[in-house]
Each structure stands twice: as structure tokens, then as C-alpha cells.
Structure 1
């Protein structure tokens, strides 16, 4: 589960951070082409993922997304459909929902559903609260996660600390996460993510177990010119004693 969350972290905060200094024109349509490659140790086959994400941006706080991803893990292929929507409730409060479904769900979760509220309670200070439900095909395994986070923007920087208690495979778990971003140029940024916690981990077809997961990711968004951006990321995740994944993500986003 951590690998999928890291990929999402590479795309969402950089593509549509509601509090980034630069404001996106509205409305604007964007298409993102992405590819992800991960190398596993302990004799496990490599992971590969490719997808496309279509989005409409009415403003930096109102965004709709539709994504289709094809992935190959443990020698098996899966597809996943992603949906996302965020909208302002009032000048300080933003609500968002995300959903995904995998018709094949050989390794990926069968489906996931989540939502979040973000409140700007003081200039540059954001409080976030969210929940997410994930169901795997293996033994009808369920993961229910709460997420509480505090984020601060100052000058061209932002820092975030998050705590995520969860109920996974019938046990209580928790994850802690730290993020830092540096925003430069009109629409470019560089970020670092550190996370650790017990999480549901896919071990192969029909196999899901809890593992002490530790991950680090470096990610960036670089404006290439008018309406063109390069997204990139490198990450390393240790899935307990099961395996370690070292990966890289590359994406190209176009606006029209």
C-alpha cells in the first residue's frame, strides 16, 4: 500500500497544491502522462506502472480528476480507475473526495474510497482531517485509515506533519509522515517525504500482510514553458522484512 500512496503523493501535491504561491488560470484542462518503475530485492520481479490523468482546474481549490493506470507487480497485471474532486466550501474550508477501483484486483486493492477536509485557520496554517477505506481481494482484507495533519506555509516553503491511525487486517496500526516543499519560479517545486508505520503490504497474488514500512521520497515539478510541466520522483521503501523497493517516477503534464 505504501508504494501506491507514494505515487499519489508525487502527483497530487505537486499537480494541484491548493496553497502553492502561483494561482492556476480557470478553467483549465490538463492531461498528465506518467510512468513508474520500481526495483525489488530478494529476487522479486520489478514493478512497472503507466497511466494517464485528465483534470479540469476551475481554480487552485476546485479540481476534478479522472485517471487510468495499468500496473504490473509480482508478474501480474492490473488496471485501476481513479476519480477525484475537490471544491471550496467557504473561503477557509476545502473538501475533497477520492475513489479508485481495480476490475482485475489481482494485486491492487479491489476498491478504495476516501475524503478530506482542509481548513485554513490562520494565514499560512492549514489543518487537515480525512478518512480512507481500502478493500483487498485477498481474504476480503480491509484497511480503514484516519489522517490528521498540520501544514504551515512560510515564504517559498511549506512543512507538513501527519499522523494516521488505522485498523488494518483486524489490528490497530499507525503511521507518521513528514513533508517539506520548496516552491520556486512561477509553477515549480521540490519536495521531500519521510514516512514510517505499520501498513498492509501486498506480498503477491492473494497475499496481504502487515509490515513495518519505512519510506523516503524526493519529488519535483518543473515548469518547461507555457502550459508544460515535468514531474519526477525517486523513492525507496522498506516493506518490513519482506522486500525493499527502489523506484522512480516520471510524468509530463500539458494544459490546454
Structure 2
């Protein structure tokens, strides 16, 4: 279980997750002599919606530059089509070790037209390694839409044992136009080979959703996703995800995402 598996959902609720911080805290720092590893991934997303909504599509180009014991840098460029309109955006983040037990993770993103995605967001995450394979996390995030703003507090706990990782996150948001939704997220991952992983994600509770015109609304959400990344060659991997989501009375969404990842 070396290096890390990079997060991103910049634009999706269930994009491939960011496990790099927790893993960096758990694995030994004995690989400091390893060279920095650069990974680039290109992926395609397709979501099918009911209730008369048109299907969604998205493309994503992301990178991650990592070396055990040093800061990890990552970012993405995205193109999404929803509700018959298109948004493009970029994001950039870092995971910075603060001693042996702490990692600070700032992240920010910007959308150029912001028809339905946020105009910008900024996230600051702090993680600490605890005993018995536990990792605690605190995250503060502000998301600015054209017509509303969302402030979110996230409290999380992860546990690593053998080739397994389990996690729980409590999300409490303050939506300027739609109250204070509370959501819950569960994660279970199994690592195999050198860097390959398969995982299950589930969430429930009230969450915000961006609509055309730049307004954020909240609704009851129930979602499940199965995802993974399989390295069939030291330099090449396939990333994949299958998911289904019920956005209250708005729609049900079923999606697939496929990506090709290359390491340099």
C-alpha cells in the first residue's frame, strides 16, 4: 500500500476519492529515497437521468505528483454537460506533511462560466494519525454559486488494517438559500497488488445540488457507488466507477465513469 490514491471529486459526488492523505499517515516513511512519481489520468463520465432530464456527460484530465515524506500535488481540468448547458473548471490541491502524524490539505477550484457548477470553492483539511490504525480528519469548505453560498464542516474517521480501509464522514452544511443539511458518507476499500484498489461508497442525508442559474438547493440523497483502480502494468492503470443516486424528488441518476491512468 504505497503512495496514495488521489481524490477527486471536483465536479462529481462520487469521483475517484482522495485517500492519499490517510495513506501517507499510515505507511512508513522509509521510502524517502524513492523518486517523485507523476501520474496523469483522462476519464469519461456518462450519467442517465429520469424525470425528463437530459443525460449528463463529463470529461476530466487530472494529475498527481507524489513522493513519500514530501508534499503531494494534484489538480484537474474538467468539462461537464448538464441540463443542456456546459461548464468548464480547474482545481489545484496539495497534501503537506506536518511532522510524522499531521497532514494539511488545502484545495481550491474555479469554474469559468458557472451555469450550474460553483463559481469557486476552497477547502482546508487537517488529518492526524491516531493509535490502532485510526486517522481523524477535520475539513472546512466554502462553495460559492452564482446565486447562493454553501459553508460545510466535515468530521471524519478512518481505520486501516491489513489491506483494508473503512471510513465515515459527517457533513454539516449551511446553505444561504436552503437551510442546514446534514449528510453521512461511508467508505470501504480493499487494496491488492502494489497500488490497485476496489471500494464501495454510500451516502445518505440532505445535500446541496447546483441548478442552472447558479442556485443551490437541498434535497434528500441516497447514493451507492462501486469503484476501483487496477494497475495491469507498472505504468498503466484502468480507473472505473459504477454508481446510482436518488436526488430526492428531482431525479434518479445512474452513471458510469472510465479512465486511463499513466505513471511517469
Q: Report the TM-score when normalising by structure 2.
A: 0.88
Deviations 1:25-73 (A, max 9, x none): 4311111111111111011111111021122112276311121111111
Q: CA deviation at 1:19?
A: 5.5
1:184-195 matches, within 5 Å, as 184-195=192-203
* Other-structure match for 1:84: 93
Deviations 1:157-199 (A, max 9, x none): 1111111111013512211111111111111111111111212
SS of corresponding position for 2:130: strand
For residue 126 of structure 1, the aligned residue among 127, 132, 135 is: 135
Structure with the larger helix share: 1
Q: Distance in 2 between matches of 1:215 and 1:46?
A: 18
* Other-structure match for 1:247: 255
* Other-structure match for 1:13: 19
For residue 237 of structure 1, the aligned residue among 203, 226, 245 is: 245
SS of corresponding position for 1:238: strand
CA shift in 2, pair 1:127/1:206, >3 Å: closer
* Other-structure match for 1:46: 55
CA shift in 2, pair 1:11/1:50, >3 Å: farther
Query: Is 2:35 the counterpart of 1:26?
Result: yes
CA shift in 2, pair 1:18/1:219, >3 Å: farther
CA shift in 2, pair 1:197/1:169, >3 Å: farther
Q: Distance in 2 between matches of 1:14 and 1:229?
A: 17
Is the Cα contact below 8 Å between 2:145 and 2:215 reproduced in 1? no
CA shift in 2, pair 1:3/1:59, >3 Å: closer
* Other-structure match for 1:208: 216
Gaps of 5+ in 2: 1-8
Aligned residues: 252
For residue 158 of structure 1, the aligned residue among 165, 177, 187 is: 165
* Other-structure match for 1:179: 187
Q: Distance in 2 between matches of 1:16 and 1:26?
A: 21
Q: Distance in 2 between matches of 1:132 and 1:61?
A: 24
Is the Cα contact below 8 Å between 1:21 and 1:183 reproduced in 2? no
Is the Cα contact below 8 Å between 2:60 and 2:78 reproduced in 1? yes
Q: Report the TM-score when normalising by structure 1.
A: 0.91
Q: Distance in 1 between matches of 2:192 and 2:27?
A: 9
Is the Cα contact below 8 Å between 1:106 and 1:205 reproduced in 2? yes
RMSD: 2.3
* Other-structure match for 1:220: 228
For residue 11 of structure 2, the aligned residue among 4, 27, 30 is: 4
Q: CA deviation at 1:228?
A: 1.4
CA shift in 2, pair 1:14/1:40, >3 Å: farther
Gaps of 5+ in 1: none
CA shift in 2, pair 1:178/1:166, >3 Å: same
Which is further off, 18-27 or 94-103?
18-27
* Other-structure match for 2:151: 144
Q: Distance in 1 between matches of 2:210 and 2:99?
A: 39
